[in-house]
Every structure is written in C-alpha cells, then in structure tokens.
C-alpha cells in the first residue's frame, strides 16, 4: 500500500463524464433521489449506479455523486471506501465470491476457494487475464442451509463442490450460459449493479427464474405436512448428477 502514497501535489480533480453520459446518469440519479425524503440517502444507490456505468467506482463516478448531491468528494470517498461491494479498481465481468465464513469454510468453502485460486491463477480480488472473472472470498451470505455457497454477481450457487465451482468458472470464461441454483441467469457485473441501484431487472422471466423456495427452505414444511423425512443433504450439486441425492 505504501508505494501508492503520494507526498507531492494533491491529485487533480477527476475528469467529468462526457456530456452525454452525464445527462443520462443525471436522469437516473434524479429517479433515485426522488425515492427519499433526504437527497443524501441516494448516495449508496448512486454509487451502485456509477459502478453500473464503469464496472467499479472511479474518481469520476465519485465526483459525479458529489456534484449531484451537493457533497464534497471527500465525503463521497469516505462512504465508497467503507462498503465492500464497491469495487475500487477495474475488475471482471463476473464477481465470484466463495463464502469462507466458519460454516461454509468448514463444509468445504475453504477447499473450493483454494481450488479456484489455483485453477484461475489469481489471488483474493484478483482478475483473470481475459477480464472475465474476479475471485474473492466473502462473508456469510445468509444461505447456510445450502452450504457451501458461492455467489456469482450476487446470485446463489448452492451446495457447491470444488469440481462444480471449477466447471462453473470454466463455463463463464467460455461464454456459456450459467444459471444459478437460486436467482436469474447471470448478467454482467455492471448490469447487476444497476439492479442494486434500484432499477428492476427487466429481462423476461428474471423474477420467476429458478422458481420458489430452494429445497432446503422446504424441508420443515414437508415434514410438517407428514412427508417422510427426506434426506435433502445434497451430495452432488443440483443439476449435475440428478438422482444422487440422499445418503
């Protein structure tokens, strides 16, 4: 980190967006600001918005947020650097996050993460040379009953194994369609960031994709309905080797 510390002149202000981009983003920003009684509340969604424009939060993006909301760039930078979902350098189209919080790590998340690091030849937050994949380890993503969990552009890939995760990143790099176990067919990181800015996913079928609750979410309900205890431990990830569930 220390080699980035500049001891000379402060950085010049970031360049502004080209006029057409700015005009388009201003319209989006207005729609965001209108959702809140106080304009500053729009800052987090607007940082998602500028991330949707450039794939990460640039100095230009932060300057835009500051200008529109009447904040200083220092105030915006303080916020942008606090939250882990804002990327601070150019990254891949697909953000692959392996949960390595305790439960997923123990259930195999550590092994999956090591496998992907070696397979992709990158370290934490590293991006593959083709610009497709950025790998990171993430904290608990509220899917512990589907452990081990991998998130790609914040869609759920449940009950993963090192093999299934490796195949998934290979498919992504080869441009094949990859579908999560819960969520919509993957779109790029930029498109995902736009949804996070509060603009609904307009793709037909995106909301309904992968159906209702996942299988683990239903085990209690099924027992309560008198169905015999189902061995829902999924030994192999869904979709790969059907019929191999159970003990």
100-159 residues in contact with another protein (CB under 8 A) are 100-103, 105-108, 110-111, 138-148, 151, 153-156, 159
Strand partners of residue 152:
96, 155
Considering only residues 210 to 229 of the shown chain, the ones binding another protein according to CB under 8 A are 210, 212-226, 228-229
Q: Kindly state the smallest distance separating residue 145's Cβ from another protein, in Å.
A: 4
Query: How far apart, in whole angstroms, are the C-alpha atoms of residue 189 and residue 86?
Result: 11
Buried b / exposed e over 185-219, threshold 16 CB at 10 Å, is ebbbbeebbbbbbbbeeeeeeeeebbeeebbbeee
Minimum CB distance to another protein smaller for 15 or for 84: 84
**49 makes contact with another protein (CB under 8 A):** no
Applying CB under 8 A, the site for another protein has a residue count of 90
Contact between 188 and 93 under an 8 Å Cβ cutoff? The reply is yes
Minimum CB distance to another protein smaller for 7 or for 223: 223
Considering only residues 68 to 107 of the shown chain, the ones binding another protein according to CB under 8 A are 69, 78-79, 82-86, 97, 100-103, 105-107
Considering only residues 154 to 213 of the shown chain, the ones binding another protein according to CB under 8 A are 154-156, 159, 161, 180, 182-184, 192, 195-198, 200-201, 206-210, 212-213
**232 makes contact with another protein (CB under 8 A):** yes
Q: Kindly state the smallest distance separating residue 242's Cβ from another protein, in Å.
A: 14
Q: Per the annotation, where are the binding residues for [2Fe-2S] cluster?
A: 99, 104, 140, 144
Considering only residues 22 to 41 of the shown chain, the ones binding another protein according to CB under 8 A are 35-38, 40-41
Minimum CB distance to another protein smaller for 176 or for 217: 217
Closest CA to 60 of 111, 24, 98, 16: 16
Count each helix (H run) and each strand (E run) in the chain, helices first.
9, 5
Query: How far apart, in whole angstroms, are the C-alpha atoms of residue 173 and residue 87?
Result: 20
Contacts (Cβ under 8 Å, ≥6 apart) of 235: 244, 245, 246, 247
E-assigned strand segments in 66-121? 94-99
């Amino acid at each position: 980190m220390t080699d980035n510390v500049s001891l000379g002149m402060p950085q010049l202000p970031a360049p502004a967006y080209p006029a057409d981009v700015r005009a388009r983003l201003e319209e989006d920003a207005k729609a965001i600001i209108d959702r809140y009684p106080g304009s500053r509340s729009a800052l987090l969604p607007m940082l998602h918005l500028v991330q949707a424009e450039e794939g990460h939060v640039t100095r230009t993006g932060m300057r835009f947020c500051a200008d529109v909301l009447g904040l200083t760039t220092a105030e915006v930078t303080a916020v942008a650097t606090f939250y882990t979902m804002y990327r601070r350098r150019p990254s891949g189209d697909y953000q692959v996050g392996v949960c390595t919080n305790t439960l997923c790590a123990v259930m195999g998340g550590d092994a999956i993460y090591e496998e992907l690091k070696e397979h992709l030849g990158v370290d934490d937050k590293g991006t593959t040379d083709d610009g497709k994949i950025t790998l990171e380890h993430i904290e608990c993503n509220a899917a512990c009953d589907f452990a081990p969990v991998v998130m790609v552009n914040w869609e759920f890939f449940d009950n993963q194994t090192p093999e299934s995760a490796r195949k998934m990143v290979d498919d992504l790099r080869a441009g094949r369609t990859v579908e999560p176990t819960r969520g919509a067919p993957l779109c790029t990181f930029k498109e995902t960031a736009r949804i996070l800015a509060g603009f609904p996913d307009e793709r037909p079928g995106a909301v309904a994709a992968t159906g209702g609750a996942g299988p683990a979410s239903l085990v209690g309900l099924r027992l309560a309905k008198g169905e015999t205890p189902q061995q829902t431990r999924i030994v192999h990830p869904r979709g790969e080797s059907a019929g191999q569930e159970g003990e």
